[in-house]
Amino acid sequence: MMDKAQAPIGAAAARTAVSGGGISFKQIFTQYKILALLVAIAVIWAFFSFKTDGGFTSARNLSNLMRQMSVTGILACGMVFVIIAGEIDLSVGSLLGLLGGAAAVLDVTHHLPLPLSMAIVLASGLLLGFVNGYLTAYAGIPSFIVGLGGMLAYRGIVLGITGGSTIAPISPEFEQLGQAYLPPAFGIALGVVLFVLAVALAWRQRVSQAQHNLPVIALWRSVFRVALTGIVLAGFVSTFNSYEGIPLPVLILLVLLGVFSYIAKQTVFGRRIYAVGSNMEATRLSGINVRAVKLWIFGLMGLMCALAGLINTARLAAGSPSAGTSGELDVIAACFIGGTSMRGGAGTVHGALVGALVMASLDNGMSMLDVDTYWQMIVKGAILTLAVWLDVATRTGRR
């Protein structure tokens, strides 16, 4: 078809097959940046492993680390959309505390069956997200202020309903949500399914590139990529299996990674999130209901707060009134470390999750080394600033 489309656009062709024609130099750059981040994680892991005589990279600790990260990661999935759309949500930490606390109260005080209390909490999360979204998109209050107000108000409510004390003990079924493991056999099956999926996607990409007259990437590169995926999957599954198996929260996070990446790249809603964040006025003039888009983004964010709140409560086996305090900062930091653009319009879900892994690794490693809390805060703050500085510096350097 497009005869002009044959001009080679180099590495830019990489994303094309997946999204049917949407790449920018910034996105290629984001791809390279992910590699840089993975190297950074490797360095951090090597350092902590050396300092703890391998304790940090033991299967048990990595399993633990991933479980810790899952709460921040779930929130980051929602937050990355909020930031791509050019907004911010500061209330997520408090909302997580409120919804997690509510789940504990429903379970401990009212003895509701788990599916019912989960449904109530998830619905409340969606609803409170819509409230945030309504105030931002329809009432026109800047999202920073809505978030700040929500941060205080939601924390106040959770203190009110819990009376300021920890709600425990939660029912064993509820505990399972945060502490269960996928049996090793299922883990292997999952790994195989994912590998087959990777092969299928790579194949589809090649076919699609050929159909669109785009330069098809070299066969050895496809094979290399698939093989790499296979090695990573094998390492991932075997590490978890050599401890107890894949933790349920990590599995949930993986599913969310898939779902949110799909939304971002393959759906109308996803395209609109990027468009709204990049140029809201032009998007509105294109006949898109930008307010509805934002309302749903905040709704999804609320839903993620509910899910994270449930898992957090289950993991701690108790509803703590201080759960999630300053969690919003970790989540926002994760998004920015993962390359989400501060002015909106660009960012990826997997980037944000890698950012969350960086934050969780620092937390976990420094705790193992018994680093003082104040040092932990200083290091995390410095890493966030450094990461964004590198991002900004390299971006302007490439025109």
Partner 1 sequence: MSAYLLEMKAIAKRFDGVPALDGIDLAIRPGECIGLCGENGAGKSTLMKVLSAVYPHGTWDGEILLDGEPLRAKSVRETEAAGIIIIHQELMLVPELSVAENIFLGNEPTLPGGRLNYPLMNRRAEEILAELKLPDVNVVLPVKNYGGGHQQLIEIGKALNKKARILILDEPSASLTASEIAVLLEIIRDLKAKGVACVYISHKLEEVAAICDTIVVIRDGKHIATTAMQGMNVNSIIAQMCGREMSQLYPSLPHPVGEVLMEARHITCWDPDQPQRKKVDDVSFQLRRGEILGIAGLVGAGRTELVTAIFGSYPGAYEGEVWLEGKRVDTGTPLKAIDAGFALVPEDRKHHGIVRDLSVGENITLSVLDRYSRMSRIDDHAEAHEVGEQIRRLALKTASPALPITALSGGNQQKAVLAKMLLTGPRVLILDEPTRGVDVGAKFEIYKLMLELAAQGISIIMVSSELAEVLGVSDRVLVMGEGRLRGDFANQGLTQEMVLAAAIGQGQHQDQVQERGQS
Chain positions contacting partner 1, by CB under 8 A:
1-2, 4-5, 7, 9, 12-13, 16-26, 208, 211-212, 214, 266-269, 271-272, 274-275, 277-279, 281-289, 341, 345-346, 399
Q: At closest approach, how far in Å is the CB of 33 from partner 1?
A: 16
**Collapsing DSSP states into helix, strand and coil, what is residue 168?**
coil
Task: Output the smallest distance, CB 287 to partner 1, in A.
Answer: 4
Structure-block tokens of residue 309: 């709140």
**Residue number, 225 or 284, with CB nearest to partner 1:** 284
The residue among 237 and 275 lying less far from partner 1, judged by its C-beta, is 275
Residue with tokens 């990674």, as numbered in its chain: 257
Cβ atoms 348, 83 nearer than 8 A: no
Of the pair 21, 54, the CB lying nearest partner 1 is at: 21
Minimum CB separation of residue 9 from partner 1 in Å reads 5
Amino acid at site 195: F
23: number of CA atoms within 13 Å, CB side?
18
Q: Closer to partner 1 by CB, 1 or 218: give it.
A: 1
300 contacts 95 by C-beta, under 8 angstroms: no
Closest to partner 1 by CB, 18 vs 226, is 18
Exposed/middle/buried for residue 360 (C-beta within 10 Å: 0-12, 13-18, 19+): buried
Q: Quick one: tokens of 72?
A: 């921040």
Shortest gap between Cβ of 7 and partner 1 (angstroms)? 4
Q: Among residues 346, 330, 333, 350, which one has the least CA distance to residue 386? A: 333
CB of 278 to partner 1, least distance (A): 4
Angle of the 172-179 helix axis to the 248-266 helix axis, nearest 10: 60
Comparison of 307 and 346: residue with beta carbon closer to partner 1: 346
CB of 274: closest distance to partner 1 in angstroms?
6
